[in-house]
Structure 1
Amino acid sequence: MLNQTAAAVHIALLAVQLLFLISPPFRGRRALCITTITGLAIATHFVGPPSDIAGDAQPFALLWPIYLGTLDKFLCARGDGPEDSYWRADRPAREARAMKPFSATKIRWAAALMFNTRGVRWNYEVKKLPPKPGMSRQRFLFWQTVDFVKLLLMSDLLLQLSERLFWTPADGTLKHADSKYLTISHPDWRWSFFKVLAFACGPYFFVNLQYVTASIVAVGLNLSRVEDWPPYFGNVSEVTTVRHFWGSFWHQTLRRSLTKATGFMVDFLSIPRGTNLSSYLQVWLAFAISGFMHAQSMLLLPHPSNITSAECTVGVMAFFLWQAAAITTEDFVQWLWKKLSGGLEVNPWVKRIIGYTWVIWSFWVSLPWAADVMMRTRLTEESFLGFSFLRSLVHRVPIPP
Structure 2
Amino acid sequence: MGISEFNSRVMELFSHYPPVSERLPLPPQQIPIAYAVVILAYFFGPGFFQTQITSYVLMIIAFYRPFFTSGDVVTDYTMSSMFFVLWIMHVYHAGNKDGGPRYIGNPEKPLPGGGVGDRDSPTYLQKLKWAVRLTATPRGIGWDWQVKNVPPHPGANLPPLQFVWGQVVEVVWRTALKAVAVYVIGVCKAVQLSTTSLVADWLLDTTVAWCGAVWSWNTIGASNAAGAAITVMLGICEPWEWPPVFGSLGDAWSVRQVWSTSYHQLMRKPFQFPGLRLARFLCLKKGTFGSRYLQLYSTFYISCCIHRYQSYIVSRHENGEFAFFMLQPVIISVEDFLRWVWRKSVSPKQKEDLARFEVLIGYFWTIAAFTFTLRYVIKGWVGIGLIGGGGPDEKAALQLGLQHGTMYLQGW
TM-score bucket of the superposed structures, by smaller chain: 0.7 to 0.9
1:61 to 69, 80, 95: 80
Secondary structure at the counterpart of residue 323 of structure 1: helix
Q: Deviations over 1:360-397 (max 9, x none)?
A: 11111111222233234332242424478978985786
Q: Paired residue for 1:165?
A: 188
Is the CA contact (8 Å cut-off) linking 1:319 and 1:370 kept in structure 2?
Answer: yes
Instruction: State the one-letter code of the partner of 2:326.
Output: L
Of 83, 93, 101, 1:86 maps to 101
Question: Any gaps of 5 or more consecutive residues in structure 1?
Answer: 172-184
Cα deviations across residues 81-103 of structure 1 (Å, max 9, x unaligned)? xxx211211353453322544x4
**In the aligned structure 1, how far is the partner of 2:144 from the partner of 2:310?**
30
Within 5 A, what are the aligned runs for 1:2-401? 3-4=24-25, 8-23=29-44, 28-45=49-66, 48-51=67-70, 53-64=72-83, 66-78=85-97, 84-90=99-105, 91=111, 92-98=115-121, 100-101=123-124, 103=125, 105-132=126-153, 133-137=155-159, 138-166=161-189, 170=193, 188-301=201-314, 303=315, 309=317, 312=318, 315-343=320-348, 344-345=350-351, 347-386=354-393, 398=405
Bigger Cα displacement from structure 2, 383-392 vs 259-268: 383-392
Corresponding residue SS for 1:95: coil
Gaps of 5+ in 2: 1-20, 106-110
Q: Deviations over 1:3-29 (max 9, x none)?
A: 345554444333322332334677722
Distance in 1 between the 2:122 and 2:189 partners?
52
CA contact (8 A) 1:239 1:245 kept: yes
| Partner amino acid, structure 2, of 1:328 | S
CA contact 1:69–1:114 (8 Å) conserved in 2 = no
Between the aligned partners of 1:35 and 1:77, the Cα distance in structure 2 is 21
- How many angstroms apart in 2 are the aligned matches of 1:107 and 1:242? 40
- For 1:274 and 1:27, how far apart are their aligned partners in 2? 30
| Separation of aligned partners in 1, 2:397 and 2:383 | 26
Which secondary structure state, in structure 1, belongs to the residue aligned with residue 247 of structure 2?
Answer: coil
Q: What's the % identity of the aligned pairs?
A: 19
The separation in 1 between residues aligned to 2:304 and 2:212, in whole angstroms, is 19
3-state SS, counterpart of residue 87 of structure 1: coil
Q: Deviations over 1:101-122 (max 9, x none)?
A: 4x4x544432321121100111
Residue 373 of structure 2 aligns to which amino acid in structure 1?
S
Q: Give the CA deviation at 1:30.
A: 2.6
Q: CA deviation at 1:57?
A: 2.2
Amino acid at match of 1:89: I
2:17 matched to which residue of 1?
Answer: none
User: Is this contact kept in 2: 1:13–1:41, CA < 8 A?
Assistant: no
Aligned residues: 373
Bigger mean CA deviation after superposition, 329-338 or 65-74: 65-74
- Given that residues 326 and 362 in structure 1 are in contact (C-alpha distance below 8 angstroms), is that contact kept between their aligned partners in structure 2? yes
The whole-number CA distance in structure 2 between the counterparts of 1:283 and 1:12 is 32
Q: Deviations over 1:183-226 (max 9, x none)?
A: xx975443233221111111111111111111111112211111
TM-score by length of 1: 0.82
Q: Quick one: distance in 2 between partners of 1:396 and 1:237? A: 36
Distance 1:125 1:377, change over 3 A: same
Structure 1 runs of 4+ with >6 Å offset: 24-27, 387-393
- Paired residues of 2:389 and 2:395 also in contact (CA < 8 A): no
Q: How many Å apart are 1:298 and its aligned residue?
A: 1.4
